[in-house]
Structure 1
Amino acid sequence: MAANFPPDDNNDGLVARSRAGDNAEPLSVSEISNILKRTVEDRFGFVRLRGELSGVKRAASGHLYASLKDEKAVIDAVMWRGNTQRLPFQPEDGLEVVASGKLTTYPGRSKYQIVVERMELAGEGALLALLEKTKARLQAEGLFDERRKRPLPFLPKTIGVVTSPTGAVIRDILHRLADRFPSRVIVWPVLVQGQGAAEQVAGAVRGFSGLPEGHPDRPDLVIVARGGGSIEDLWSFNEEVVVRAVAECSIPTISAVGHETDTTLVDFASDRRAPTPTAAAEIAVPVRAELAATLDDFASRTKRAILRPVQLGRERLQARAERLPTPETLLQPQGQRLDDIAMRLGNGLRDKAARARERLQGDKARLNAPLLKSRVQQAGERLAAVARLMTSLDPDNVLKRGYARVIGPEGTVTDRVQAAKHPALTLKFRDGELDVSTGDTPRPAPTPAPRRKSPEKGLPPAQDDLFG
């Protein structure tokens, strides 16, 4: 369509001149650019554009520059630093987003662009696409490698929990720990959804990890937990900053984000994934009652192991004892031998007696009456001679011939010197005794001398051995 210019007699002039009736002065480029800028901004003060990100880059100032495109057109986009810090995701090329902001122009390049104030993913499909791209990139770095997984402590003394302090999650965890094995729990309160949640969760994980070994508040296990929700609600746990913090944590970690069907990138980076926060508490500690039962079982097994050799020894001893012969069996040969010896002894005694009888009968000529009488007479004569000797040696027999025996306290006194030592003496005559004094000292009663018992008369002499 041709423009309608006012008639001019000199259209081909070299110098621009004012025309009759023309009240518009020529506009400068800057002026028209500003007019266009105001017009565009007034007309499109707020718009929402859907398109695919392309050429995404961040300036050193923190501003974000990109392009939004579809199949037929491209528009430049800029997002100032203050708004980029509130982005809930990391913009990347190829993501389909919905950008909200205002259109403006950039006079320096004669271009129009959208100043984005808010950027969102265009539906769950775009969100899942971003999730897959982030997962692939982090997996390529080795953050999800199974060889990086560490074993969880069997019985942690202190458990650190990164979650919201007001939700049901922490109550479920504490309740389950109290039921199974009461443990010390340190809660690091964070936002688990919305703006700034990812930074807080990552900061809490790094805070626990940064505590030095031996610190009283350093946990033995860290649980990153959140309740269920949509993929959008759980998106903070797909953020790269959180995933890296969990992967780099120096303390074994359990991820317990969402329900059993929910999956986040934190699940791949942690050492163990729990389907629910309650399940995380069950994984973290054993059941105390089961441990006690196990210890009792170990004690019983240990006792049986200790007593088993004794039992085996007893069984072996019993088996060997059963194979040993009975006392009757052991004594039977000796008993039989004893019976044989007894029988032989009886027979021997009878034989010896018979032989002695025969010998006695054979020697009866030597055992006739005159021989026996002669031997008895000889024995009687010997006995009579001994009796006469005893009678002749008896000191009291001479008393009958007029002698007296002097008796002192110690017996018969035989000399004068011995008699002078005693103040009193006793004189024994054949018909009695008489006490006499040897001086003026009173004489003690004499002790009668023991009488020697005379051998009884009329006893026959001892018989000689008939067998010689």
Structure 2
Amino acid sequence: MENTPEYSVSELAGALKRTVETTFGLVRVRGELSGFKRVGSGHCYGALKDADALVDLVMFRGAAATLSFRPEDGLEVIVTGKLTTYPGRSKYQIIVDRMAPAGVGALLAQIEARRVKLAAEGLFDPARKRPLPHIPRVIGIITSPTGAVIRDILHRLADRFPRHVLVWPVAVQGEAAASQVAAAIRGFNALAPGGLIPRPDLIIVARGGGSIEDLGAFNEEIVVRAAAASAIPLISAVGHETDTTLIDYASDWRAPTPTAAAERAVPVRADLVAQVATLAARLEQAMARGLAQRSERARAIAARLPVPRRLMELPAQRLDDLAGRLPRGLAIARSRAAARLATSAGALRPALLASRTRRSADALARTNLRPRLLTARAETAAQRLAAAGRLLVSLGPESVLSRGYALVLDNNGQLIGRVAAARSQPALTLRFADGDLPVQPASSQPRLL
């Protein structure tokens, strides 16, 4: 035992590290992720486990940037890297260069679980989807600034109906893609209407085709929630026609290809011009036809109306007939009036009038209207009237006032006969024989104003 060489702790740890790295310089391991996390530096830490064992893993920032999906605990993956030790803690670990899902089935299961979760929250409800504008003034496009996708969209927009286009460049693949796409959607929505940068009326999120791993950013929850929360109508155009991502469920319209998104965003301007020209021609024809129908109807009505000249012929004839009969009628009426006058003249003889006058005078003489009788009756009536006047004066209130009495009146000149009524008045008037005296009622005696 004394001949066994001695090692320091560092020497032993270094020897173990060299042995492990030499023996396992490159390994490919399949297992389930556990405790996976990304720290502020961009490095990722976690563990890979199966039913019987566990090995730590570390993925530095450069390798983590190449991830095409979001690693989650419980997901089965295949990692490629080298096995090494960490002397500071006496443990071994895998430094991962590449990580991929263990199979499409595992990744699809992860996506399906996320879809069910988001659907339960109502993010895919058809009632949330808004109609797309018919002709948007400004179109916002979220895609990679390089590649065929943006060129195809711009080319198709220019062919169909040129519009003002804003491009928000993002990464469409890799670990940073999901956060950039979500930030772009929120950024377009944050633009103020009428600002220096025009706010889009429509957003297109586009990417070309690829594998399920390549399209992984558009299955991320952060992207789906941003699309569902967008106040601006959004078209998803991710992948080819057979590709389906979760953003397709949250968008207002899903385009099978980026080119189809441009075709759905705007109509064909030439078709609109032709349609307007056709409608204008139809309108002109309808107006001409309407005028022709109304003119024909007016002529038909006019044909059924009588000629004005004919309307006056019969009244003119009747006027001529009456004018011819008028002189003869006047002569006959004059003859009849003369005959009635002659008949009445016999009753107006002077002797007859004188006889009637004498009979009226005799009847007047026989009446009792003699002057002396009329004078006596007038004197008797005058005496009775004077007596009644004296009685009225003696019984009148003025005569009573002269004997020391007074009248109590309210503001309207109405007589107050009771103390309670007098106390309810704001002011009273005492009328004496020689004038009125204003007073104010009190609790006991009235006092002068």
Class of the TM-score when normalised by the shorter of the 2 chains: 0.5 to 0.7
CA distance in 1, matches of 2:64, 2:131: 39
Match of 1:222 among 179, 193, 203: 203
Match of 1:213 among 186, 189, 193: 193
Change (3 A) 1:40 1:268: same
Match of 1:193, SS state, is: coil
The question of 1:248 aligning with 2:229 is answered yes
Task: Give, as a single letter, the amino acid of the residue that structure 1 aligns with 2:251.
Answer: S
The question of 1:149 aligning with 2:129 is answered yes
Q: Where do residues 345-364 of structure 1 align in structure 2 (5 Å cutoff)?
A: none
Change (3 A) 1:63 1:133: farther
- Work out whether residues 259 and 275 of structure 1, in 8 Å CA contact, stay in contact via their aligned partners in 2: yes
The Cα of 1:221 is off from its aligned counterpart by 1.1
Q: Where do residues 294-309 of structure 1 align in structure 2 (5 Å cutoff)?
A: 294-296=275-277, 299=280
Q: Where do residues 18-417 of structure 1 align in structure 2 (5 Å cutoff)?
A: 22-24=2-4, 36-56=16-36, 64-79=44-59, 84=64, 86-105=66-85, 112-194=92-174, 196-218=176-198, 219-296=200-277, 299=280
- Work out whether residues 256 and 275 of structure 1, in 8 Å CA contact, stay in contact via their aligned partners in 2: yes
- Work out whether residues 65 and 174 of structure 2, in 8 Å CA contact, stay in contact via their aligned partners in 1: no
Structure 1 gaps of 5+ residues are 1-17, 342-468
Q: Who wins on radius of gyration, i.e. which is larger?
A: 1
Cα deviation digits, residues 296-318 of structure 1 (max 9, x gap) = 45556766887888777667666
Task: Give, as a single letter, the amino acid of the residue that structure 1 aligns with 2:222.
Answer: V
Q: Under a length normalisation based on structure 2, what TM-score does the superposition of the two structures give?
A: 0.58
Match of 2:185, SS state, is: helix
Change (3 A) 1:236 1:99: same
Identity of aligned residues (%): 63
CA distance in 1, matches of 2:220, 2:312: 96
Cα deviation digits, residues 254-274 of structure 1 (max 9, x gap) = 111121111112211221111
Greater shift, 168-177 or 318-327, is seen at: 318-327
What is the number of equivalent residue pairs in this alignment?
Answer: 324
CA distance in 1, matches of 2:66, 2:5: 47
Task: Give, as a single letter, the amino acid of the residue that structure 1 aligns with 2:83.
Answer: L
Higher helix fraction: Structure 1 or Structure 2?
A: 2
- Work out whether residues 69 and 213 of structure 2, in 8 Å CA contact, stay in contact via their aligned partners in 1: no
CA distance in 2, matches of 1:127, 1:136: 14
Task: Give, as a single letter, the amino acid of the residue that structure 1 aligns with 2:226.
Answer: A
Q: Under a length normalisation based on structure 1, what TM-score does the superposition of the two structures give?
A: 0.56
The Cα of 1:187 is off from its aligned counterpart by 1.9
Q: Which residue of 1 aligns with 2:399?
A: none
- Work out whether residues 235 and 253 of structure 2, in 8 Å CA contact, stay in contact via their aligned partners in 1: yes
Change (3 A) 1:314 1:279: same
Task: Give, as a single letter, the amino acid of the residue that structure 2 aligns with 1:191.
Answer: A
Structure 2 gaps of 5+ residues are 322-449
CA distance in 1, matches of 2:185, 2:40: 28
Q: Which residue of 2 aligns with 1:449?
A: none
Task: Give, as a single letter, the amino acid of the residue that structure 2 aligns with 1:273.
Answer: R
Greater shift, 203-212 or 318-327, is seen at: 318-327
Change (3 A) 1:109 1:206: same
Task: Give, as a single letter, the amino acid of the residue that structure 1 aligns with 2:154.
Answer: L
- Work out whether residues 95 and 129 of structure 1, in 8 Å CA contact, stay in contact via their aligned partners in 2: no
CA distance in 2, matches of 1:107, 1:194: 32
Match of 1:267, SS state, is: helix
Greater shift, 72-81 or 245-254, is seen at: 72-81
Task: Give, as a single letter, the amino acid of the residue that structure 2 aligns with 1:159.
Answer: I
Task: Give, as a single letter, the amino acid of the residue that structure 1 aligns with 2:254.
Answer: R
Cα deviation digits, residues 272-302 of structure 1 (max 9, x gap) = 1111111111111122233334444555676
The Cα of 1:31 is off from its aligned counterpart by 7.6
The Cα of 1:183 is off from its aligned counterpart by 1.0
CA distance in 1, matches of 2:252, 2:48: 39
Task: Give, as a single letter, the amino acid of the residue that structure 2 aligns with 1:75.
Answer: V
- Work out whether residues 86 and 196 of structure 1, in 8 Å CA contact, stay in contact via their aligned partners in 2: no
The Cα of 1:60 is off from its aligned counterpart by 7.8
CA distance in 1, matches of 2:163, 2:190: 22
Greater shift, 273-282 or 71-80, is seen at: 71-80
Change (3 A) 1:80 1:277: closer
CA distance in 2, matches of 1:102, 1:310: 90
CA distance in 2, matches of 1:234, 1:30: 46
